[in-house]
Chain A
Amino acid sequence: MNQPSILLDGLPVPFVDGQTIMDAAMAADIFIPHLCHHPEFKPQGSCKLCTVKANGRYVSACTLPARDGMEVENNSPDLNDKRRTLLQMLFVEGNHFCPSCEKSGNCMLQALAYELEMLSPHFDQFYPNRPVDASHPEVLLDFNRCILCELCVRASRDLDGKSVFSLSGRGITKHLIVNAESGRLADTDFSWADTAAHVCPVGVILKKRSGFAVPIGKRRYDVEPIARQVERLAARRADEES
């Protein structure tokens, strides 16, 4: 029996039963832009960057199970325009001052903005004002950069078993909080060894006294743009197999 496959931008991509479009693409090292998705965690479809067109309809690649013969459009001007708009919305919602951010060059939000050639934030800035939490001896939290992907929430709850983080509030006032009576990270059992400390795709959860250690030019996305890193992995695997 043939393995089922989807047609991703015209390319047959095999999958196993139960895999989503994103799972299948990731296994084949095909890049679908995403922020809230991480293979170790249950997908939730909140960032909407992985929006693809499956059999003519806009869907989230991270949550829709692949079906045999499904025709999926991913890397198209129409979808990339929509993704750029989503990025612009995320950029104006927070204070993304890359020039002074320790995560610059290693930030997925920034790397995707480069990938999709986002030149301006287009919309008016929100300039949120949420005080940083510097109470913890090892870790600093800058809530004004949070994109609400909930990766830290999921990691802390599902892998670390500590439930240090939550989202609170509704609509535009929704924000990341620390689950402690005082609301301070120092009053939780959070540690830099936790999985949750390392999953933030942007510059919210930062290790103290270790910023700006990597020279400009050698940071993760200086070396290669985000999509090409994925594609190169595929090329290397194909080389090893042959």
Chain B
Amino acid sequence: MNAVPQSRKLRLATTSLAGCFGCHMAFLDIDERLLELLERVEFDRSPLTDIKTCGPCDIGLVEGGICNAENIHVLQEFRRNCKVLIAIGACAVNGGLPAQRNHLDLGRCLQEVYLTGPGIVNGQVPNDPELPLPLDKVHPIHEIVRIDYFIPGCPPSGDAIWKFLTDLLDGRTPRLGHPLLHFD
């Protein structure tokens, strides 16, 4: 009864929407500091765990922009469950390079890829209801839900992610100065 209460580990969820998993790789670039991080946080839903849906969390890291209906569903699940939601990487921040499709007609994109492109025989645009429908435009995630913090970079370096997370965990306002702050 009189045991000193251990400070609870924070719960961290991560996901990739219209991302390339590069931000998750950059996250893993913190290398052996990952062990140090695991002393302080527990992973919830993440591509690195087997948890299928996001439970109540302290921090959510979201890479990738929004390009289809399922992305919106997942993002809203993260917003509902995470106290602090962080956009990580250029795609989540401003749509990123996938948003370069925004000036193209979506129907014509699908036709070119699945019907008329070189090497396609008996092609058809996939239409199974299992598949999420693409949106006509790619959007940054802050256009769908409120975002608390942004870590720019394509991807941000492991050092930048480490600095940001440790600032946050230690109760400091996260800051990225030169040379950790970059957009490319």
Residues of chain A touching chain B, judged by Cβ–Cβ distance below 8 Å, are 91-92, 95-101, 104-105, 110, 113-114, 117, 119-122, 124-125, 127, 129, 216, 222, 224-225, 228
Q: Which of B87, B137, B175 is in CB contact (< 8 Å) with A117? A: B175
Assuming the contacts A97-B90, A104-B183, A125-B99, asked whether A117 and B177 have C-beta atoms less than 8 A apart, the reply is: yes
The answer to whether B183 touches A110, judged by C-beta atoms less than 8 angstroms apart, is: yes
Q: How many residues of B contact A (CB 8 A)?
A: 31
The answer to whether B140 touches A125, judged by C-beta atoms less than 8 angstroms apart, is: yes
Which residues of A are found within 8 Å of B176, using beta-carbon distances? 117, 119
The answer to whether B182 touches A97, judged by C-beta atoms less than 8 angstroms apart, is: no
* 4 extra A-B contacts, CB within 8 A, seeds A99-B183, A117-B175: A95-B99, A99-B96, A119-B152, A121-B93
Assuming the contacts A119-B149, A120-B142, asked whether A91 and B177 have C-beta atoms less than 8 A apart, the reply is: no
Q: How far is the CA of A98 from the CA of B93 in the complex (A)?
A: 12
Which residues of A are found within 8 Å of B149, using beta-carbon distances? 119
The answer to whether B96 touches A120, judged by C-beta atoms less than 8 angstroms apart, is: no
Query: For residues 73 through 101 of chain B, which have their beta carbon under 8 Å from a beta carbon of chain A?
Result: 87, 90, 93-97, 99-100
The answer to whether B90 touches A120, judged by C-beta atoms less than 8 angstroms apart, is: no
Which residues of A are found within 8 Å of B124, using beta-carbon distances? none
The answer to whether A121 touches B94, judged by C-beta atoms less than 8 angstroms apart, is: yes
Which residues of A are found within 8 Å of B182, using beta-carbon distances? 114
The answer to whether A129 touches B94, judged by C-beta atoms less than 8 angstroms apart, is: no
| B184 interfacial by beta-carbon distance below 8 Å | yes
The answer to whether B103 touches A104, judged by C-beta atoms less than 8 angstroms apart, is: no
The answer to whether B102 touches A127, judged by C-beta atoms less than 8 angstroms apart, is: yes
Residues of chain B touching chain A, judged by Cβ–Cβ distance below 8 Å, are 87, 90, 93-97, 99-100, 102-103, 137, 139-140, 142-143, 147, 149-152, 154, 175-179, 181-184
Across chains A and B, which 4 residue pairs bring their CB atoms closest together, nearest first?
A99-B154, A120-B150, A129-B103, A98-B183
Which residues of A are found within 8 Å of B147, using beta-carbon distances? 120
Q: How far is the CA of A98 from the CA of B90 in the complex (A)?
A: 9
Q: Which of B142, B154, B178 is in CB contact (< 8 Å) with A114? A: B178
The answer to whether A97 touches B97, judged by C-beta atoms less than 8 angstroms apart, is: yes
Q: How far is the CB of B49 from chain A (nearest CB, A)?
A: 27
Q: How far is the CB of A227 from chain B (nearest CB, A)?
A: 10
Q: Which of A97, A222, A228 is in CB contact (< 8 Å) with B100? A: A97
Q: Which of B102, B143, B175 is in CB contact (< 8 Å) with A124? A: B143
Q: How far is the CA of A170 from the CA of B157 in the complex (A)?
A: 41
Chain A to chain B contacts (Cβ below 8 Å), 8 pairs: A95-B100, A114-B181, A114-B182, A117-B177, A125-B99, A125-B139, A127-B102, A222-B179
Q: How far is the CB of A217 from chain B (nearest CB, A)?
A: 9
Helix, strand, loop or mixed for chain A's interface? loop
Q: How far is the CA of A136 from the CA of B110 in the complex (A)?
A: 32
The answer to whether B94 touches A96, judged by C-beta atoms less than 8 angstroms apart, is: yes
Q: How far is the CB of B171 from chain A (nearest CB, A)?
A: 19
Which residues of A are found within 8 Å of B100, using beta-carbon distances? 95, 97, 100
Q: How far is the CB of B47 from chain A (nearest CB, A)?
A: 21
The answer to whether A98 touches B95, judged by C-beta atoms less than 8 angstroms apart, is: no
Minimum CB distance partner of B143 in chain A: A124
Q: How far is the CB of B75 from chain A (nearest CB, A)?
A: 16
The answer to whether A120 touches B143, judged by C-beta atoms less than 8 angstroms apart, is: no
Which residues of A are found within 8 Å of B175, using beta-carbon distances? 117
Q: How far is the CB of B118 from chain A (nearest CB, A)?
A: 23
Q: How far is the CB of A80 from chain B (nearest CB, A)?
A: 14
Which residues of A are found within 8 Å of B178, using beta-carbon distances? 114, 224-225, 228
Which residues of A are found within 8 Å of B99, using beta-carbon distances? 95, 97, 125, 127
Assuming the contacts A104-B184, A119-B151, A127-B103, asked whether A91 and B97 have C-beta atoms less than 8 A apart, the reply is: no
Q: How far is the CA of A241 from the CA of B143 in the complex (A)?
A: 54
